[in-house]
Amino acid sequence: MKLPIYQVDAFTDQLFGGNPAAIVPLQTWLTAPVMQKIAAENNVSETAFFIPQGDHFELRWFTPTFEIDLCGHATLATAHILFTELGHAEDEIHFHTLKAGTLTVSRKDGLYTLDFPSRPPVACEIPTGLLDAVSGTTPIEVLSSRDHLLVYEKEEDVLALRPNFEALAKVVPMGIIATAPGRHSDFVSRFFIPGAGINEDPVTGSAHCNLIPYWAEKLGKKDLHAFQVSERRGELWCSLKDDRVLMSGKAVTFLKGEIYL
Q: Hey, which residues are catalytic here?
A: 46
**CA 22, CA 47: separation in Å to the nearest integer?**
5
Q: Which residues contact 253 (CB under 8 A, 6 or more apart)?
A: 6, 7, 8, 80, 81, 84, 85
Q: What does the chain come to in residues?
A: 261
- Residue 83 CA neighbour count, 13 Å, CB half: 24
Q: Residue 18: helix, strand or coil by DSSP?
A: coil
**CA 156, CA 188: separation in Å to the nearest integer?**
10
Exposure of 244 by Cβ count < 10 A (0-12 exposed, 13-18 middle, 19+ buried)? middle
What are the helix (H) ranges across the chain?
A: 32-42, 72-84, 130-134, 155-159, 165-171, 205-219
Q: Which residue in 199, 209, 153 sits closest to 176, CA to CA? A: 199
The region that residue 18 occupies, defined by phi over 0 for left and psi between -120 and 50 for alpha, beta otherwise, is left
Residue 102 backbone phi and psi in degrees, to 5: -90, 130
